[in-house]
């Protein structure tokens, strides 16, 4: 059984760490409810164990079944999920800044900083290598396209959010500027490209209609880069101006903060359209029945990051309706996580979820 699991373990499984991690972050956004903070902390610790388990199993596959594992680079769908690895790691980094600092202080910041640079490297590698393989060795067509194309691209903007959150915890002004500039470059390497993919996705769905029901969860992935892009701008609009001022750029700090804030609101509003569209598409799929697969974790992270962006916006704009909307989104996230987690446990126990499409293609 152990050999079967390892042989069929794919990077898709790291989507479980993304969904669990974003829920742990979302639960920490309600300072008036310490029990939610405690639940989020427990989830964060569990997510560290989950990420370590996924890393161990996937590393074992490469060591024991190298030839079979290497086929992933030629697969037009599974290879996209490499982006889930740095995105799952980013939620753990954010957890160190939220939950680690109260317990281990500066050590948590040091760990988060080291992990962040690793995450930056992995994110940029995914964002460059996977599209290059799409261009050179994989077979793609517009009628078969889904929003999974976004996964390797979005990893960089997720890392950018973590960089923005890290800024206030860095003492050295020059290091702060380095992290800020790196985060802005990461955002720029991801969001514009993701928006381009969304244009193609809109055309694909208009011309070729919805993807197969097995890819139903991918309809939510479009919300991911929009919510993450908005969250990144909101975070940097709060943390960036002080960094710029500390490095002799005080004259541009207000403009930076204002432009970031405005851009975040525009992206957030765009996300509302995609959220409504994803709900309508999901309801349409429900008429056919939705078979469960590991891709259902695609329902969680996009919803979670948009919820966190909404709650962050509610702390900056004095409108109670935004905070209420954010709380509703987090409630929906909790319900979805519980459903998907329960089905994942069942599929893990009966091994039905351990399927490697790269091997089935033989």
Alpha-carbon distance of 70 to 58, in angstroms, equals 12
For residue 187, give the CATH number of its domain: 1.50.10.150
CB within 8 Å of 311: residues ≥ 6 apart: 26, 29, 323, 326, 327, 330
Domain count, the chain: 1
What's the confidence (pLDDT) of residue 1? 59
Neighbouring C-beta atoms of residue 132, cutoff 10 Å: 11
Note whether residue 362 is domain-resident. Answer: no
Q: What is the mean pLDDT of residues 76-102?
A: 97
Q: What is the pLDDT of residues 273-293, one digit of tens each?
A: 999 999 999 999 998 888 999
Whole-number pLDDT of residue 281? 94
Residue 89 has pLDDT above 70, yes or no: yes
Only one residue has tokens 């199993």, namely 57
Residue pointed to by tokens 């293609």: 361
Task: Dump pLDDT digits (tens) for 319-362.
Answer: 999 999 999 999 999 999 999 999 999 999 999 999 988 886 54
Q: What is the pTM of this model?
A: 0.96
Query: Mean pLDDT, the chain, as a whole number?
Result: 96
Q: Which tokens go with 4?
A: 């079967």
DSSP notation for 203-254: HHHHHH-SPPGGGGGGGGTTHHHHHHHHHHHHHHHHHHHHHHHHTT-TTTHH
Looking at residue 289, what is its pLDDT? 85
Higher-scoring residue by pLDDT: 31, 176? 176
pLDDT for 2 beyond 80: no
For residue 223, is pLDDT > 70?
yes
The residue range of the domain holding 164 is 3-354
Residue 361 lies in a domain: no
Share of residues in the chain with pLDDT > 70 (%):
99
The tokens for 302 are 């996009």
Q: Which residues contact 208 (CB under 8 A, 6 or more apart)?
A: 142, 143
For the cut 80, the answer to whether the pLDDT of residue 119 exceeds it is yes
Q: Can you tell me the mean pLDDT for 204-225?
A: 92
Structural domain includes residue 359 = no
| pLDDT score of 26 more than 90 | yes
Contact 164, 232 (CB under 8 A): yes
């Amino acid at each position: 059984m152990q050999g079967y699991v390892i042989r069929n373990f794919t990077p898709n499984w790291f989507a479980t760490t993304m969904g669990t991690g974003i829920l742990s972050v979302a639960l920490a956004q309600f300072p008036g409810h310490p029990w939610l903070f405690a639940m989020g902390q427990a989830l964060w610790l569990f997510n560290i164990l989950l990420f370590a388990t996924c890393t161990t199993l996937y590393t074992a596959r490469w060591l024991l079944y190298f030839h079979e594992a290497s086929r992933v680079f030629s697969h037009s769908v599974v290879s996209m999920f490499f982006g889930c690895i740095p995105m799952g790691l980013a939620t753990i980094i954010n957890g160190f800044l939220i939950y680690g600092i109260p317990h281990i202080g500066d050590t948590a910041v040091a760990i988060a900083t080291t992990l962040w640079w690793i995450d930056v490297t992995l994110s940029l590698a995914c964002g460059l290598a996977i599209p290059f393989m799409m261009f050179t060795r994989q077979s793609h067509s517009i009628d078969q396209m889904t929003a999974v194309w976004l996964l390797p691209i979005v990893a960089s903007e997720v890392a950018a959010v973590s960089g923005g959150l890290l800024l206030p915890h860095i003492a050295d002004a020059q290091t702060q500027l380095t992290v800020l500039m790196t985060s802005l470059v990461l955002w720029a390497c991801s969001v514009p490209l993701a928006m381009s993919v969304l244009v193609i996705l809109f055309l694909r769905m208009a011309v070729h209609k919805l993807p197969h029901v097995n890819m139903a969860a991918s309809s939510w992935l479009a919300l991911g880069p929009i919510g993450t892009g908005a969250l990144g701008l909101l975070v940097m609009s709060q943390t960036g101006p002080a960094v710029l001022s500390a490095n002799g750029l005080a004259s541009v700090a207000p403009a930076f903060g204002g432009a970031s804030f405005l851009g975040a609101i525009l992206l957030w509003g765009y996300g509302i359209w995609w959220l409504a569209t994803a709900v309508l598409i999901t309801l349409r799929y429900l008429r056919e029945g939705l078979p469960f697969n590991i891709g259902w974790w695609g329902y969680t992270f996009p919803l979670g990051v948009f919820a966190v962006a909404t709650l962050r916006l509610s702390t900056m704009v004095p409108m109670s309706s935004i905070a209420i909307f954010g709380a509703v989104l987090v409630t929906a996230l909790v319900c979805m996580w519980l459903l998907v987690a329960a089905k994942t446990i069942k599929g893990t126990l009966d091994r039905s979820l351990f399927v490697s499409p790269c091997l089935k293609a033989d």
